[in-house]
Amino acid sequence: MTPKISFRNVSKSFPLKGGDFLALDRVDLDIADREFVTVVGPSGCGKSTLMSMAAGLTEPGTGDILLDGAPVAGPGPDRGVIFQQYALFPWLSVRNNVEFGLRLMNLPPDERAKRAEHAIELVGLSDFADALPKTLSGGMKQRCAIARAYAVNPQVLLMDEPFGALDALTRVQLQDQLLDTWSRERRTVMFITHDVDEAVYLANRVVVMAARPGRIHRVIDVDLPYPRTEELRLSPEFSRIRNEVWHSVYHQAPAA
């Protein structure tokens, strides 16, 4: 089956004074349709650059990035992008923030309203649909950002440290919320995080990257059932995979 997203021999350099800096070196990765893949690795290993290329916001230097087998040629409504900073419009209510992306799709107003309503319900924000972002907690703002991405009905969600700014408890709650949303309306997800527990809890597979140059170090299968639960999080099987990921992040041999 054609992978949903493919990185084929992707390298990327950025110009630096006195020469180029190789940020990503020959990355090969296939992500299957409806798979949940998390990406971890040391700071500067190129996680955001990789995701930005899948989003069509950054061009690969060499190699190919394919979506359903066709080259990515810029951003598109088939990919929803969610960053750590909530990127909500402060003057718009939750409902209007969620509807914003739909306006660009030229949908009739009643269809727009219906879709926004559904996405807001999906992330559990129905009681706050008319609230302004400044009255919401960080977790609620991020749920609003997720609803906005979902409303456009993208096949792929690209999430760059979306819970990075949240406290530990809110973060865990949003992980459950995201998995609940994903299990009800499954999309292909590529999710970047610095948090090894989060990476294992969410994913089908964890991609561990290494730095200097940025590259894929290991891909670790998370052979644990969904729904993921607190019990599972505290289980020996979870610990085993978590330790394996932790070890491969923190004890990387330098590149040959």
Binding site for ligand ATP (CB under 6 A): 14, 23, 41, 43-49, 214
Q: Which amino acid is at 59?
A: E
Q: What's the min distance (Å) between Cβ of 44 and ligand ATP?
A: 4
Indicate the residue among 139 and 213 with the shorter CB distance to ligand ATP: 213
The CB-of-209 to ligand ATP minimum distance in angstroms stands at 7
Which one, 41 or 101, has the nearer CB to ligand ATP?
Answer: 41
For the beta carbon of residue 114, count every other beta carbon within 10 angstroms.
14
C-beta closer to ligand ATP: residue 7 or 150: 7
Tokens of 165: 């700014």
63 vs 124 by CB, closer to ligand ATP = 63
Would you say 45 or 116 has its CB closer to ligand ATP?
Answer: 45
- Shortest spacing between CB 20 and ligand ATP, in angstroms: 10
Residue 194 beta carbon to ligand ATP: minimum distance, rounded to whole angstroms: 6
Q: Is 39:64 a contact under the CB 8 Å cutoff?
A: no
228: left (phi over 0), alpha (psi -120 to 50) or beta: beta
CB of 45 to ligand ATP, least distance (A): 4
Q: Which residues pair with 27 in a beta bridge?
A: 10
Query: Shortest CA distance to 40 belongs to which of 247, 253, 254, 256?
Result: 247
Alpha helix segments (H runs only) across the chain:
47-55, 94-103, 109-122, 138-151, 168-184, 196-202, 230-233, 236-250
Coarse DSSP helix, strand, coil percentages of the chain, rounded to the nearest 5 percent: 40, 25, 35
Element (H, E) at 219: strand 215-221
Kindly state the smallest distance separating residue 162's Cβ from ligand ATP, in Å.
13
Closest CB to ligand ATP among residues 53, 136:
53
